[in-house]
Amino acid sequence: MSILNVSRVSHGFGDRKIFEDISFRLLKGDHVGLIGANGEGKSTFMSIITDKLMPDEGDIEWAARVRVGYMDQHAVLEKGMSVREALRQAFAWLYEAEAEMNGLYMQMGEAGGAALDKMMDQAADLQDLLENSDFYMIDARVDEVARGLGLFDLGLDTDVTELSGGQRTKILLGKILLQTPDVLLLDEPTNFLDEEQIVWLKQYLLSYKNAFILISHDMEFLNEVVNLVYHVENAGLTRYVGNYEEFLRLYEQAKRQIAAAYEKQQSEIAHLEDFIARNKARVATANMAKSRQKKLDKMDVIELSKEKPKPEFNFTAGRTPDKLVFEAEGLIIGYEAGDPLSKPMDLLLERGMRVALIGANGIGKTTLLRSLLGEIPPLAGVVRTGGNQLVGYFKQEDLEGGNQSCIEHVWEAFPAYTQYEVRRALAKCGLTTQQLESRIRVLSGGEQAKVRLCKIINRETNILVLDEPTNHLDTDAKDELKRALQAYKGTILMVCHEPSFYMDVVNEIWDLKNNTTRIC
């Protein structure tokens, strides 16, 4: 029996068609990878099946009493709540059952007869529920998941508001994993995980007995944990049995078959049209020409899918900077209201160096970048910078210009451009006409990242400071960004959690684990 049935769903934003007459089925034990290029509608699909978004047409039907766990990036963690308390929220229904049972025991002292017997039966049922749900093992389960996601060593009594955005996201992920729902819905869960934590999550999902739907652009990760792939493309949804590698094989095979059928049909159409043109005016052959015309009119013409625009990132080289880029002496990073994030650091970045900055989430990588760039003052120490610097800074999250269209946002940054030049610059980053005319806030994370990259590559730079540039990018965009960075002649300082990406770009690695004050 299906856990979830999606039937004949269509949806769009304005004149932008996202889905057209799609169907989807989820069975118990299905481990589904939902894949597609940036902006094809993967996160929209998640919003539709969780009732956060109503489709224009079609039906969404969940089986009765199905528990769904959805990692909501916008969920709020309350100030004063500890990491342990936040994770324990996964078992709120069991704590409620315990409170109800204890309340019954309190009432039993004043009850008697049939009322007492009823209370005893209710309390026994609740006790069985708690025992069968491993209620008395909750803390052990919390510790196990917290260790796997890198939260345990931060201190489970730590206030959640003292943590970084990435660490808070891990708490939300840990919470739904602890719930062991009938269906897990995971949207880019590896974005804020380090290598060891990704390995742990991989093993967790491989042994997960219930169903899950996973959106991920980490194809190595996705390939190892899914047994079904649903591919979103051109407003359609196609099902493939197998992992990601099997999908690629079947997808390419189907493309070749469609291309061959298209060529054969086009040849037949040309032959029919030629016959009709030569014979429709002749009395002797007019009926034959009409017969060919009827055949042509009834033909179901094959249309090839339009190729999505592939991004083309070419950074614009600026003048040569001084040999010194950044030099830090006794640098301690952090924020005035909080504890220091680092021990004293001595760092030297010189012209031509290509450095990957790595370390667990929350230990200060973004804070270090901002301190080196002068956006926030260090708690101690000094940062010296060289001259003639043209810095291109890619922020991990940048919500500026949300109500502007992509065209308006980029045009504001480059007022000397014509509209044609703005459109061409955005199109080179892999955005379609509909996407570049849309408001930034309705774009996917990957599309927004392309807009931000567009602003950087069209300015002269000699230093690139990149904070998790691969987050949300699809495979084509990620591959092109790697190529562009390999070709870049300037200095690179990059935070990235994907070794398969940065190892081909940098020639030096700075690991913050030796400098941080955080345990990681």
Q: How many whole angstroms separate alpha carbon 72 and alpha carbon 162?
A: 20
Reduced 3-state DSSP string for 351-363:
CCCEEEEECCCCC
Q: In the prediction, which pLDDT does 519 show?
A: 39
Structure tokens at 42: 């993967």
Domain 1-67+181-305 identical in fold to domain 316-402+444-514: yes
In angstroms, the Cα distances linking 177 to 71, 86, 89, 307 are 9, 13, 12, 38
Query: pLDDT by residue (tens digit) across 140-191?
Result: 999 999 888 888 767 888 888 777 777 788 888 899 999 889 999 998 888 8
User: Residue 396: which of 480, 469, 461, 482 has the closest Cα?
Assistant: 469
**Which residue type does 286 have?**
A
Query: Measured in whole angstroms, how far is the alpha carbon of residue 353 from the centre of its chain?
Result: 30
The third-level CATH classification (topology) of the domain covering 316-402+444-514 is Rossmann fold (3.40.50)
Mean pLDDT of the chain: 88
Spans of all domains in the chain: 1-67+181-305, 79-177, 316-402+444-514
**Whole-number Cα distances in Å, 329 to 323, 344, 382, 479:** 17, 8, 6, 36
Q: Which residue has the tokens 């308390």?
A: 85
Q: Which two tokens stand for residue 257?
A: 């078959």
Q: Residue 434 carries which side chain, given as an amino acid letter?
A: Q
For the stretch 184-239, pLDDT in tens is: 999 888 887 877 888 899 999 999 999 999 999 888 899 999 999 999 998 999 99
Confidence of residue 364 (pLDDT cuts 50, 70, 90): confident
The residue among 452, 462, 429, 520 whose CA lies nearest residue 318 is 462
Task: Answer yes or no: pTM beyond 0.85.
Answer: no
User: pLDDT-based confidence at 31, cuts 50/70/90?
Assistant: very high
454-390-357 Cα angle (round to 5)? 80
CATH number for the domain running over 1-67+181-305: 3.40.50.300
Strand 16-27 relative to strand 2-13: parallel, antiparallel, unpaired?
antiparallel
- Write the burial class of residue 338 (CB in 10 Å: 0-12 exposed, 13-18 middle, 19+ buried): exposed
Return the CA Rg of the chain.
29
* Mean pLDDT of the region 227-252: 94
